[in-house]
């Protein structure tokens, strides 16, 4: 992976690679030199090829350089969400067994107290300063990069933990590079682009997709520490591309300062990591004149599909399979399904991960005999070969022996007057086994009439799909990437129907 980036560093050495908040600039040459110093520091700490480097730090340019340094040293980059709590951190450290940990200074004592913590625990604050920067200071600005094969591990990320124990996802250099190259071409990135980067870099979207496309193409990045509406609006006029999660776009649309004039001259808007409502897609087009490119990916596969850059972008779909990616929708017997039929999504290609870290049985379970990865998502094709995500297999509700796909009901709920967003879950029911329950967030100032909502759905879907209850909440629980955590909703309403038993 770094060998590919090095070609960009050599070609665009004095061109801006990153423009950070406050106007500080790093050229491609600066990234090369800083990552070399950090790679040298890692070697001094005893890091050898294949060792994990666990990183839980605030987003900074130095954190980006640390990722590059790990690639150069042959280490496995293991980023952690900055919101993880001590019990979660203990699990990740114990499972990954890192050689080195890099953390925010405020968490230094916490990490040192964890069982299995390595001897080397260094710090990096939100400005990139700390004991790791001190260790890298004065190191040579060149580095003899470790030669990595396509199958060698490059990164270890863990599933979000929304269900069950988090699993380590072992991504190779070949996985990351093949996907970044395909996306760079698919989205037509070039050295003329400026990417607005407000995403976190402990996740596939911000680290491998956004950074990969920018650095392979010679583009510049406008580097924000996180997403806030006003700084993003201020930065947009200087950018040609924005990547974000759906929440970013809904929050922009809620701002009166996000005008057509601000947004219209951008080349590309990309959304992913969570479903984009058709209403958001249409409202964004009405406001800006742009149709958002939605794509579909997983930590295990990076990106699988995308709306085309030149061609139709359909609301409610995640586009077409990317070049080199084989994707199929199958029934329970593994038979491929045609347009309009709902089934399980399976994917195969150079983007698909090596396997689960130290879980060979789970890896075998999630791959078919012919090498397709079972994503756990349900979807269906349309007549033009576009894929729509219907829901997670684990979220499917079986009520009275009949399957209910939450996404179908959610789309209808989200189209109702007064409903801002919704989540459909299944909870235990003494008669049906599971009952369909809708949890809705009203539009500000509105209230939801449960009986009226149920009556409005009855003409549109079969009776067994109509929610037995419609519950109003102020907001849906989400993880840091904007995904609704339905497991929390199921836990909250687990005993909803106990009184009828």
Rounded to 5 degrees, φ, ψ at 344 are -90, 135
- Which pLDDT belongs to residue 398? 84
Range 69-77 average pLDDT: 98
Range 70-94 average pLDDT: 92
Name which of 95, 82, 87 is nearest 56 in CA terms: 82
pLDDT band at 140 (very low <50, low <70, confident <90, very high): very high
371 or 279: which leads in pLDDT? 371
pLDDT tens digit string along 162-198? 445 789 999 999 999 999 999 999 999 999 999 999 9
Q: Of 56-60, 243-247, 349-353, which gets the smallest average pLDDT?
A: 243-247
pLDDT tens digit string along 277-335? 888 899 999 999 999 999 999 999 999 999 999 999 999 999 999 999 999 999 999 99
- Which pLDDT belongs to residue 277? 83
Ramachandran class of 54: left when φ > 0, alpha when ψ lies in -120 to 50, beta otherwise:
beta
Q: How far apart are CA 171 and CA 169, in angstroms?
A: 6
CATH of 2-148, one of 3.40.50.720, 3.40.50.410, 3.40.50.12780, 3.40.30.10: 3.40.50.12780
To 5 degrees, how large is the angle CA 177–CA 178–CA 182? 115
Name the percent of the chain lying above pLDDT 70.
Answer: 98
Q: Which residue ranges does the chain devote to CATH 3.30.300.30?
A: 396-500
Sheet holding 293-298, edge to edge: 25-27, 16-20, 220-223, 194-197, 241-244, 268-271, 293-298, 302-306, 320-321
- Which pLDDT belongs to residue 163? 46
* Residue 462 reports pLDDT greater than 90: no
pLDDT band at 160 (very low <50, low <70, confident <90, very high): low
- Which pLDDT belongs to residue 400? 79
Q: How far apart are CA 342 and CA 236, in angstroms?
A: 39
Range 2-6 average pLDDT: 97
Q: Of 147-161, 280-294, 466-480, which gets the smallest average pLDDT?
A: 147-161
pLDDT tens digit string along 98-123? 999 999 999 999 999 998 899 999 99
Name the percent of the chain lying above pLDDT 90.
Answer: 83
pLDDT tens digit string along 415-446? 999 999 999 999 998 878 889 999 999 998 88
Range 472-501 average pLDDT: 87
User: Positive or negative CA dihedral for 48, 52, 53, 59?
Assistant: positive
Q: How far apart are CA 246 and CA 138, in angstroms?
A: 43
Q: Of 183-187, 383-387, 458-462, which gets the smallest average pLDDT?
A: 458-462
pTM: 0.85
- Which pLDDT belongs to residue 399? 86
* Residue 151 reports pLDDT greater than 90: yes
pLDDT band at 66 (very low <50, low <70, confident <90, very high): very high
What integer best gives the mean pLDDT of the chain? 94
Tell me the residue ranges of DSSP E strands in 245-394. Answer: 268-271, 293-298, 302-306, 320-321, 326-330, 343-348, 355-356, 373-381, 387-392
Helix axes 28-44, 2-11, angle to 10 degrees: 140
Q: Of 28-37, 137-146, 162-171, which gets the smallest average pLDDT?
A: 162-171
Q: Which residues of 37-67 are buried (b: 16+ CB within 10 A; e: fewer)?
A: bbbbbbbebebeeebbbbbbbbbbbbbbbbb
- Which pLDDT belongs to residue 164? 56
Q: Which residue ranges does the chain devote to CATH 3.40.50.12780?
A: 2-148
pLDDT band at 77 (very low <50, low <70, confident <90, very high): very high
Q: Of 190-199, 360-369, 393-402, 454-463, which gets the smallest average pLDDT?
A: 393-402
Q: Of 204-218, 354-368, 391-405, 433-447, which gets the smallest average pLDDT?
A: 391-405
What is the architecture, at CATH level 2, of domain 396-500?
Answer: 2-Layer Sandwich (3.30)
pLDDT tens digit string along 219-263? 999 999 999 999 999 999 999 999 999 889 989 999 999 999 999
- Which pLDDT belongs to residue 499? 60
Rounded to 5 degrees, φ, ψ at 189 are -70, 145
């Amino acid at each position: 992976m770094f060998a590919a980036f090095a070609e960009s560093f050599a070609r665009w050495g004095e061109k801006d690679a990153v423009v950070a908040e406050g106007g500080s600039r790093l050229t491609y040459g600066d990234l090369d030199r800083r990552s070399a110093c950090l790679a040298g520091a890692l070697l001094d700490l005893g890091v050898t090829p294949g060792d994990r480097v666990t990183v839980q730090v605030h987003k900074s340019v130095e954190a980006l350089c640390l990722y590059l340094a790990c690639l150069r040293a042959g280490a496995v980059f293991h980023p952690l969400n900055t919101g993880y709590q001590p019990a979660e951190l203990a699990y990740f450290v114990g499972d990954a067994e890192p050689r080195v940990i890099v953390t925010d200074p405020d968490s230094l004592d916490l990490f040192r107290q964890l069982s299995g913590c390595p001897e080397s625990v260094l710090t990096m604050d939100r400005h990139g300063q700390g004991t790791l920067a001190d260790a890298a200071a004065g190191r040579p600005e060149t580095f003899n990069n470790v030669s990595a094969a396509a199958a060698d591990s490059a990164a270890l990320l863990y599933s979000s933990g929304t269900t069950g124990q988090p699993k380590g996802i072992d991504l190779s250099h070949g996985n990351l590079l093949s996907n970044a190259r395909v996306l760079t071409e698919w989205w037509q990135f070039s050295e003329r682009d400026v990417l607005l980067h407000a995403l976190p870099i402990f996740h596939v979207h911000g680290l491998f997709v956004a950074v990969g496309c920018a650095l392979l193409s010679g583009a510049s990045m406008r580097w924000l520490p996180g997403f806030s509406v006003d700084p993003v609006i201020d930065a947009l006029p200087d950018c040609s591309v924005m990547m974000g999660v759906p929440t970013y776009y809904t929050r922009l649309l809620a701002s009166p300062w996000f005008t057509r004039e601000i947004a219209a001259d951008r080349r590309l808007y990309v959304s992913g990591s969570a479903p984009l409502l058709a209403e958001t897609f249409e409202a964004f087009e009405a406001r800006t004149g742009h149709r958002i490119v939605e794509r579909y990916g997983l930590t295990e596969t990076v990106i699988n599909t995308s709306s085309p850059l030149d061609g139709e972008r359909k609301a409610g779909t995640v586009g077409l399979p990317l070049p080199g990616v084989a994707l199929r929708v199958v029934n329970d017997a593994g038979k491929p399904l045609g347009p309009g039929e709902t089934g399980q999504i399976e994917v195969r290609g150079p983007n698909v991960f090596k396997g689960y870290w130290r879980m060979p049985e789970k890896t075998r379970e999630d791959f078919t005999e012919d090498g397709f990865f079972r994503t756990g998502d349900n979807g269906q094709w349309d007549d033009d070969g576009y894929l729509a995500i219907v829901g997670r297999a684990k979220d499917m509700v079986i009520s009275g022996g009949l399957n209910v796909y939450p996404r179908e009901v959610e789309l209808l709920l989200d189209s109702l007057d007064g409903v801002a967003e919704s989540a459909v879950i299944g909870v235990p029911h003494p008669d049906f086994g599971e009952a369909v329950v809708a949890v809705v967030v009203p539009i500000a100032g509105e209230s939801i009439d449960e009986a009226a909502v149920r009556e409005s759905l009855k003409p549109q879907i079969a009776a067994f799909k109509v929610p037995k209850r419609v519950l109003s909440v102020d907001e849906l629980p989400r993880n840091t990437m904007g995904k609704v955590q339905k497991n929390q909703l199921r836990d909250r309403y687990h005993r909803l129907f106990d009184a009828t038993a």
